[in-house]
Amino acid sequence: MARIAVIGAGMGAMAAAARLAVAGHQVAVYERGETYGGAVRRFERDGFGFDTGPGLLHLPAVYRDLFVKTGKEPLEQRVELSQVDPASRHVFPDGTEVSLPNASRAGVVAALDAALGAGAGERWSDLISRARDVWDATRRPLLEEPLRADWKALGKDPYPAVRRGLFRRGATTLAEVAERELHDPRLGALLEGHALAYGFDPRSAPPSAVVLPYVEQTFGSWYVRGGMRALAHALYERCLSRKVEFTFGAEVDVIAEKGGRVAGLVLMDGTRVDADLVVAGVDPWALAMMAGDSPVAYNRLWDADDVLPRLRRPRARFTVLLALRGARPEGTAHRTVVHAADREAELTSVFGTGRGPAGPRPVPCERPTVTVLRPDDPTQRPDDGHEAVTLTATVPGHAEEAPDSVDWAADGVAEDFAERVISVAGAAIPDLRERLLWREARTPADNADETGTAGGAVPGPALAGVRGEQLRAANLTRLPGLYTVGGWFHPGGGLAHAGMSGALVAGLIVEGDDWRGSQ
């Protein structure tokens, strides 16, 4: 039995902690904040409740497996899961609308043909067929195995070339896939919107990013009664039942070493924590400081032959929470995406020009793509005469001076952007202004304060292609006894990927550093 110290109480860290405790290890979690769940949080006011992190779950099998492997009670006995149907409603700039059924390929084809014209559904279906090839090629090395020494093989994009005349031509970016194969800016917005939601610029994201809509369309979109915070609470309780110890308000200063390997932690208050192994669920910049490493070269944690953490910050999420008077209308879609009127303006505002060094500091988009979540959940509202609505948009991260970020704490910046987001959401909720009781804006600066993540950034999942630039650093570091977990590391961000990272780290510790994944 090993003494294992876990830094952070995010979803990936708790997933690893629960599995390690069941394997017989003594596990203690040290969290700088006052609660668990990482970015999976809840805001409450006047009887209204809101998720302030992810609002839907994809690949629920990850958490089903976690709960089966860590106790007798399956996931569905701890939380109430339901499929969202339709999976999403989309409102395009020209006024066209389409609702896509959940986990029904034939239904999606029919809906797209009816809304966008004959042939639209077939083009989308052909794209999803090619996305399945990507899924089959990358599922195991990207999701089910630790990052291998031959990771450079994942630098080649598995998206198949498409015949054009006498030749087969391969796209180099997701944007090229949309333009060449979908032939409709609305279908293009549908494809690129999945990348944007995860913080990827479709102009530079690899074609393999087609796997994002594939996963959602194939495995469905799921909601947890009480919001995703209920899932975090269930995982926290599972950890407690397996004797995992939690200490909140415990910020780590240094990872202690002895004899060239990890020996424990030193907290900011000077407390020494002895441990045989350390699992770090923090961003790589924070981890580098704790390990006495360089956040530029990472000489101690990874070497030149490894995937290194990227200094470029992923994008962040801006959220507006709305308390509305009046009942949620019957038949309302759980999720509506209102697509930006000016695609290039939005992408430039979030990612820059996409052509070389950054120019002037980004300015929040005038009319961004906005996702509107309207769950039919009595636990999220004071009564049936009210409705809780969450609006989200992808934005640059927070920093007071960094050239690729926005100072979200500056006077008027958050309020002004919240107004823009609400205006866009009016396309999904026409009587929004008349029904509004109050609103609460949550910025990347708020996320940075709550979670300690640099810039309040939200990491996306790992993707194959582009020479490995969208891979995440391995869960096993070069410092003996130190492992990494969570969205900043293999296999990347997202609720499902966090659960997978916990499984990978537990496998490496329980089975040994040469473990090659579950069979």
User: What pLDDT was estimated at residue 103?
Assistant: 86
In the numeric block, which tokens belong to residue 110? 């029919």
102/83 Cα distance (integer angstroms): 7
Q: How many CB atoms lie within 10 A of CB 224?
A: 27
The three-state secondary structure class of 460 is coil
In 3D space, the residue among 372, 373, 321, 376 whose CA is nearest the CA of residue 82 turns out to be 376
In 3D space, the residue among 370, 354, 359, 361 whose CA is nearest the CA of residue 417 turns out to be 370
- Every domain of the chain with CATH number 3.90.660.10 lies at 85-220+314-466
How confident is the prediction for the chain on average, in pLDDT?
A: 93
Query: Are residues 369 and 339 in contact, defined by beta-carbon separation less than 8 angstroms?
Result: yes
User: What pLDDT was estimated at residue 164?
Assistant: 62
217/207 Cα distance (integer angstroms): 17
Instruction: Determine which helix (DSSP H) or strand (DSSP E) holds 163, and give its type and residue range.
Output: strand 162-164
Task: Please give the angle made by the CA atoms of 295, 298 and 303, to the nearest 5 degrees.
Answer: 160
Instruction: Determine which helix (DSSP H) or strand (DSSP E) holds 387, and give its type and residue range.
Output: strand 386-395
Give CA 423 to chain center in angstroms.
25
Instruction: Determine which helix (DSSP H) or strand (DSSP E) holds 221, and give its type and residue range.
Output: none
Query: Are residues 423 and 372 in contact, defined by beta-carbon separation less than 8 angstroms?
Result: no
Distances (CA, A) of 290 to 283, 301, 396: 11, 11, 26
Sequential DSSP letters for 267-330: ETTS-EEE-SEEEE-S-HHHHHHHTT--TTT-TTT--TTSPPPPSSPPPEEEEEEEEEESPPPT
Query: Are residues 403 and 312 in contact, defined by beta-carbon separation less than 8 angstroms?
Result: no
68/96 Cα distance (integer angstroms): 44
Residue 283 CB burial class (10 angstroms; 0-12, 13-18, ≥19): buried
In the numeric block, which tokens belong to residue 363? 């300015």
Angle between helices 211-219 and 120-139 (to 10 degrees): 100
Strands in 245-248's sheet, in edge-to-edge order, are 245-248, 26-31, 3-7, 277-280, 482-484
Which CATH fold would you assign to the domain 85-220+314-466? Polyamine Oxidase; Chain A, domain 2 (3.90.660)
Which CATH fold would you assign to the domain 3-39+59-80+225-309+472-511? FAD/NAD(P)-binding domain (3.50.50)
User: What pLDDT was estimated at residue 519?
Assistant: 64
Question: pTM for the whole thing?
Answer: 0.95
Sequential DSSP letters for 401-442: S-TTSB-TTSTTHHHHHHHHHHHHHTTT-TTHHHHEEEEEEE
pLDDT < 50 stretches in the chain: 166, 355-357
Instruction: Determine which helix (DSSP H) or strand (DSSP E) holds 99, and give its type and residue range.
Output: strand 97-100
Place of tokens 């629920």: 60
Look at strands 261-267 and 252-258 and give their pairing.
antiparallel
112/120 Cα distance (integer angstroms): 6
User: What pLDDT was estimated at residue 356?
Assistant: 46
Give tens-digit pLDDT for 379-431. Answer: 999 999 999 999 999 999 998 777 778 999 999 999 999 999 999 999 999 99
324 φ, ψ to 5°?
Answer: -115, 140
- Every domain of the chain with CATH number 3.50.50.60 lies at 3-39+59-80+225-309+472-511
